[in-house]
Amino acid sequence: MLQQTQVARVVPRWEAWMARWPSAAAVAAEPLAEVLRAWVGLGYNRRAVRLWEACRLVAERGWPDDLRELPGVGPYTAAAVGAFAFGRDELPVDTNVARVLERLGGRPRGEAAVVGQALMDLGATVCTARSPRCGECPLESCRSRGAVAPRARPGRPRVRFEDTDRWARGRVVAALAAGERLPEGLESWRLQRVLDGLARDGLVVLDASGLRLP
């Protein structure tokens, strides 16, 4: 859930999810459509499909030694789950952690789960990309302390979220999950492109009965 979704949005949804489905086997026992309904609002619905597929594999075969064998799990997610869930010495390196490690000049000693969480928090709040607050940093031995100049944020052309396919995909899935009509106002060519993409990703099914969740 935390892939590309803010923590504040994830926490209540994760708590509700775990209360309903406390194990991989519990998720695997549900139809994909139910999992997608529970996911609505978190965005990037393909993650729900991959999570459901991964849970089915775990329920059938158990946890693999290499977590990257599971659908939707890449190097970062594998390291994060390995460290936080299984206590493995695998440091999850996201953008914030990579920046802190580069400025620090190496990895601090300690358990990967503890170090990883500390570096994530530090990179998100103190050792930021453009305006690091070195005076507040607890890592006094950092080789870059006080040497990183603030940088201006480059200007980018703004595109309304409502004009993106990501927005349209989310509205289509949300409408199907709620049993409502498809969103109005989408050009026919854009709607068709969105539906084709959703079908390719396994998020919708178009058959003799009409358009529905899998």
pLDDT digits (tens, 9 = 90+) for 159-175: 888 888 888 999 999 99
Distance separating alpha carbons of residues 64 and 67, to the nearest angstrom = 6
Taking the CA atoms of residue 84, residue 89, residue 94 and residue 96 in that order, the dihedral angle to the nearest 10 degrees is 90
| Sequence letter at residue 25 | A
Going from the C-alpha of 155 to that of each of 4, 104, 135, 152, the distances in angstroms are: 22, 29, 28, 9
Residue 192 — very low, low, confident or very high, per pLDDT cuts 50/70/90?
confident
Query: Which of 73, 101, 122 finishes a domain?
Result: 73
Residues 69 and 27 in one domain: yes
Residues 111 and 65 in one domain: no
State pLDDT tens for residues 55-109: 999 999 999 999 999 999 999 999 999 999 999 999 999 899 999 999 988 888 8
Taking the CA atoms of residue 15, residue 17, residue 23 and residue 25 in that order, the dihedral angle to the nearest 10 degrees is 180
The pLDDT, as a whole number, for residue 151 is 63
- Say which residue, 78 or 206, is predicted with more confidence: 78
Residues 89 and 43 in one domain: no
Residues 13 and 55 in one domain: yes
> Has residue 1 been placed in a domain?
no
Residues 48 and 98 in one domain: no
Residues 50 and 69 in one domain: yes
The answer to whether the beta carbons of residues 204 and 193 sit under 8 Å apart is no
> Has residue 69 been placed in a domain?
yes
Residues 69 and 85 in one domain: no
Based on the structure, what is the number of domains in the chain? 3
Distance separating alpha carbons of residues 69 and 71, to the nearest angstrom = 7
Query: What is the residue range of 186's domain?
Result: 161-212
Residues 44 and 116 in one domain: no
